[in-house]
Structure 1
Amino acid sequence: MIRGVLLCGYALLFIKLLVSGNITNYIAPKMFPFMYFATFTLLFLGGVQIWRKEESHCCHHCEGEHHVPKTIGQSVRVYGLFFIPLLIGFMFSNHVLDSSLAAKRGVQLGGKEKQLVQEFLENPDEYMDNIDKQIENIIQDGITTEVQKEKELNKDLLDKSIIVVNDDQYISTLNFISEQIDVVTGKRIEITGFVFRERDFAPNEFVVARYGVTCCVADATVYGILVRADDAATWENDTWVKVEGVIDEAKYKQWIIPIITNPKVTIVNMPEQPYVYEY
Structure 2
Amino acid sequence: MRRHGPTVLLLLTGAAVLRITLFGDLCLRYVQAGLRPYLIVSGVALVLLGLVTAVLRDEHEHEHGHGHGHHHGPRTAWLLVLPALALLLFPPPALGSYSADREAAQRAAQGVGTFPALPDGDPLSLTVAEFSSRAIYDSGRSLKGRTVRLTGFVTRGDDGSWYVTRLLVTCCAADATTGKVEIRGADDDAPPTDTWVTVTGTWHPEGTLGSDAAWPPVLDAARTIRVKQPADPYEKP
TM-score, normalisation: structure 2: 0.80
Alignment-mate amino acid for residue 14 of structure 1: V
Deviation for aligned residue 1:54: 0.7
Q: Give structure 1 stretches of 5+ with no counterpart.
A: 118-130, 132-150
Change in 2 beyond 3 A, CA 1:173/1:247: closer
Cα pair 2:25 2:231 within 8 Å, conserved: no
- Residue equivalent to 1:178: 136
Distance change in 2, residues 1:111/1:52 (3 Å):
closer
Distance 1:96 1:83 in 2: 22
Aligned twin of 1:278: 236
Which runs of 4 or more aligned residues in structure 1 lie more than 6 Å from their structure 2 counterparts after TM superposition? none
Partner of 1:272, secondary structure, is coil
Distance 1:61 1:225, change over 3 A: closer
Q: Describe the SS at the equivalent of 2:38.
A: helix
> Which stretches in structure 2 are left out of the alignment for 5+ residues?
none
Alpha-carbon separation, structure 2, partners of 1:78 and 1:58: 25
- The within-5 A match list for 1:1-279 is 1-18=4-21, 19-60=23-64, 70=72, 74-75=74-75, 77-80=76-79, 82-93=80-91, 95-108=93-106, 110=107, 154-155=116-117, 157=118, 159-165=120-126, 171-172=129-130, 174-180=132-138, 182-199=141-158, 202-203=159-160, 205-229=161-185, 231-251=187-207, 254-257=212-215, 258-261=217-220, 263-273=221-231, 275-278=233-236
Letter in 1 for 2:148: I
Offset of 1:208 from its aligned partner?
0.7
Summarize the Cα distance change of 1:248–1:70 in structure 2 as closer, same or farther, 3 Å threshold: same
Give how far 1:249 is off. 1.4
Letter in 1 for 2:29: N
Call closer, same or farther: CA 1:232–1:196 in 2, change over 3 Å: farther
- Superposed CA RMSD: 3.1
Deviation at 1:33, TM superposition (A): 2.2
**Residue 170 of structure 1, CA deviation:** 5.4
Question: Are the counterparts in 2 of residues 8 and 47 from structure 1 also a CA contact under 8 Å?
Answer: yes
Q: Which is higher, the Rg of structure 1 or of structure 2?
A: 1
1:90 is paired with a residue of what secondary structure?
helix
